[in-house]
């Protein structure tokens, strides 16, 4: 506050002094110079009239010579003071305008307004550092789910972009360097309502600094960080970052899952997908045969390592080995966009190709050339920029790797649906047949859209009817809760994926399981029908109906009447 006001006052000194000086000299002159009234008598202007006249003269309004016509002496004086005072006003106004438009001043104002807004936040919010591709996808995903977000990014253009995007919630954004702890503090890091920090800038050092700052200033909150290399990952893990996401590692794990357990991979994609998107088809990457990997950057290296560990033969195509490092034996020099390079790498007998360079045009070209030579080849495509979504979709690759989308999706699940995360890691330990059966059950539930996955908690706020019933000693089972409160003979179209009770997690709990206070359920089903399930949990009458089939009287008066009637 002080900074801005004092800056303003200090800059305004010169113009104000000039204005005062010019005004006082003009007024004094006008009072001293003799004028003539209507009868020709000498008359001296009073201070009041002189001030009035100079005011409207200097602001170029010019009502006229008051109260009598001026003598020539007065007119001479007025001419001189006119030029001086108008210039003085323009100078003063110009200074004010330039001061208000000053970038520093505006930035100071914006920062203050932002910090004050954050101070008043009551509901929990997440602090997202970095508003590039990943940040944008993440913020959209979070706000769509109704979670509050605060954004901080170094680039002013990016933070200005927020106002243009149609986000569901108001997202306060600060354009400042997140490496400075002061800015993180202004953005609300130590605030009570800050529930987590996500560092997804495109610079590893910044992410590191932000994560450390968060762990020091507000140790209890969750810190999720993006990392691009092993050293950075190790560094982040060393001081206890809660989740570190490396998109290339994550994708290579996905690929491994797709190799060994295609049903589980499909399930993962379905459950973790964005709301209202189409159900995707299963993919079956071929394990027997040759794979060609184009591009030996971070992604390429991760792919080669993963394929090698699966025992698959790999040939790498790389155009700049001096930057990326020498690929393993049998590599081909080139970009892969021309047919000769691909043929040299053995594309005719290859079963899969990975287009993993960091240029979208190159990648698409590789894919199309490869399909020309071998139309049924399995294609893994790396997408770098989300603006190319339309052409990537058109090329219909079997697997698309989009780093920002992977990070954003993972963080979205981590923050919005932590139980789902746990479910997937537990499901990895099951057989693929189990996953296949679950896939067919989900397909039966939802027609073409991705199922909605939500967490339900049995506590006073969300499951009061069940808790009350439990307290009375009448346990409620899962099967009862899953009946339709409109017709108790029908089942609601839901699958209970997992139940958490205390520290224990139970996959696909049995229908006869009795619910207790404090249980958490992970439920998936068609989106629109969740309300009915919630109704069962929290509304006593609905619960009664699904359990017993008729509603009993609740009110005191009615119960007495009923009793009286039964007796009679």
Partner 1 sequence: MNPEKVVFGFFIVLALTLNFGFFVGEIDNPEHHHAYELFAVVVVNLIATVLKFGDRSQMGAVLLATSLVAMLQLLAASLVWVYAVHISGQGLTPEITASIVSLSGGAMLANVVSVVLLVIETVMLRR
Output 29 or 336, the one with its CB closest to partner 1.
29
Output 13 or 548, the one with its CB closest to partner 1.
13
Q: Closest Cα partner for 234 from 219, 246, 221, 218?
A: 246
Least Cβ distance, residue 228 to partner 1 (angstroms)? 45
Calpha distance 273→421 (Å, rounded): 13
Q: Which helix (H) or strand (E) holds 506?
A: strand 504-507
- Judge residue 184's burial from the number of C-beta atoms within 10 Å of its C-beta, 0-12 exposed, 13-18 middle, 19 or more buried: buried
Least Cβ distance, residue 104 to partner 1 (angstroms)? 16
Least Cβ distance, residue 24 to partner 1 (angstroms)? 4
Which stretches does DSSP call E strand in 376-485? 378-382, 399-401, 452-457, 476-477
DSSP letter for 210, please: H
Catalog residues that contact partner 1 under the rule CB under 8 A: 2, 6, 9-10, 12-13, 16-17, 20-21, 24, 27-28, 31, 46-49
From the CB of residue 477, how many other CB atoms can be counted at a distance below 10 Å?
Answer: 14
Output 20 or 216, the one with its CB closest to partner 1.
20
- CA 87 centroid distance within chain: 51
Is 227 in contact with 244 (CB distance < 8 Å)? yes
Calpha distance 291→234 (Å, rounded): 30
3 state SS of 225: strand
Least Cβ distance, residue 114 to partner 1 (angstroms)? 23
Output 9 or 109, the one with its CB closest to partner 1.
9
Output 23 or 331, the one with its CB closest to partner 1.
23
Calpha distance 536→464 (Å, rounded): 10
Is residue 67 reached through a cis peptide bond, with omega within 30 degrees of 0 on the bond before it? Answer: yes
Least Cβ distance, residue 107 to partner 1 (angstroms)? 20
Least Cβ distance, residue 16 to partner 1 (angstroms)? 5
Least Cβ distance, residue 152 to partner 1 (angstroms)? 29
Q: Closest Cα partner for 253 from 430, 410, 450?
A: 410
Q: Mention every residue, 6+ apart, whose C-beta is less than 8 A from residue 496.
A: 478, 482, 508, 509, 521, 522, 523
Output 12 or 195, the one with its CB closest to partner 1.
12
Output 59 or 491, the one with its CB closest to partner 1.
59
Angle at 372 (CA atoms; ends 366, 378), nearest 5 degrees: 65
Least Cβ distance, residue 79 to partner 1 (angstroms)? 22
Output 74 or 235, the one with its CB closest to partner 1.
74
Output 21 or 94, the one with its CB closest to partner 1.
21
Least Cβ distance, residue 7 to partner 1 (angstroms)? 8
């Amino acid at each position: 506050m002080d900074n801005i006001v004092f800056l303003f006052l200090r800059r305004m000194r010169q113009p104000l002094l000039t204005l005062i000086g010019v005004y006082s000299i003009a007024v004094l002159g006008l009072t001293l110079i003799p004028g003539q009234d209507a009868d020709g008598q000498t008359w001296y202007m009073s201070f009041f009239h002189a001030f009035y006249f100079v005011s409207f003269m200097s602001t170029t309004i010019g009502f006229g010579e008051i109260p009598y016509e001026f003598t020539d002496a007065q007119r001479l004086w007025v001419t001189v003071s006119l030029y001086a005072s108008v210039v003085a006003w323009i100078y003063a106004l110009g200074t004010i305008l330039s001061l208000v438009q000053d970038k520093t001043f505006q930035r100071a104002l914006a920062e203050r307004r932002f910090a004050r807004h954050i101070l008043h936040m009551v509901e929990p919010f997440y602090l997202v550092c970095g508003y590039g591709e990943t940040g944008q996808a993440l913020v959209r995903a979070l706000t769509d789910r109704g979670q509050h977000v605060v954004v901080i990014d170094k680039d002013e253009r990016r933070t200005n972009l927020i106002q243009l995007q149609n986000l569901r919630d108001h997202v306060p954004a600060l354009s400042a360097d997140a490496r400075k702890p002061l800015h993180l503090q202004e953005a609300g890091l130590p605030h009570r309502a800050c529930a987590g920090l996500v560092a997804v800038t495109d610079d590893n050092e910044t992410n590191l600094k932000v994560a450390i700052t968060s762990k020091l200033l507000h140790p209890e909150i969750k810190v999720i960080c993006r990392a691009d290399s092993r050293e950075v990952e190790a560094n982040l893990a060393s001081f206890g970052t809660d989740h570190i996401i490396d998109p290339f590692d994550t994708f290579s794990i996905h690929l491994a899952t797709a190799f060994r357990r295609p049903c589980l991979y499909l399930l993962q994609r379905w459950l973790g997908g964005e709301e209202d998107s189409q159900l995707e088809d299963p993919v079956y990457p071929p394990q027997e045969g040759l794979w060609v990997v184009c591009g030996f950057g971070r992604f390429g290296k991760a792919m080669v390592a993963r394929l090698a560990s699966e025992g698959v033969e790999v040939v790498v195509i790389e155009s700049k080995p001096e930057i990326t490092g020498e690929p393993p034996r049998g590599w081909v020099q080139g970009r892969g966009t021309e047919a000769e390079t691909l043929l040299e790498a053995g594309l005719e007998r290859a079963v899969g190709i990975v287009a993993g360079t960091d240029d979208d045009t190159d990648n698409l070209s590789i894919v199309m050339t490869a399909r020309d030579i071998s139309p049924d080849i399995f294609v893994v495509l790396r997408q770098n920029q989300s603006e190319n979504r339309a052409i990537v979709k058109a090329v219909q690759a079997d697997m698309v790797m989009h780093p920002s989308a992977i990070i954003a999706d993972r963080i979205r699940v981590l923050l919005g649906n932590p139980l789902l995360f746990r479910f997937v890691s537990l499901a990895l330990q099951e057989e693929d047949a189990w996953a296949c059966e679950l896939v067919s059950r989900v397909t039966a539930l939802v027609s073409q859209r991705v199922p909605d996955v939500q967490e339900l908690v049995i506590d006073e706020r969300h499951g009061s009817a069940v808790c009350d019933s439990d307290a009375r000693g009448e346990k409620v089972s899962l099967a009862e809760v899953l009946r339709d409160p409109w017709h108790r003979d029908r089942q609601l179209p839901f699958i209970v994926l997992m139940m958490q009770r205390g520290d224990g997690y139970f996959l696909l709990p049995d229908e006869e399981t009795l619910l207790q206070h404090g249980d958490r359920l992970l439920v998936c089903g068609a989106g629109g029908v969740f309300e009915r399930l919630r109704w069962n949990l929290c509304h006593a009458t609905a619960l009664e109906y699904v359990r017993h089939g008729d509603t009993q009287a609740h009110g005191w008066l009615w119960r007495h009447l009923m009793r009286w009637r039964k007796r009679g």
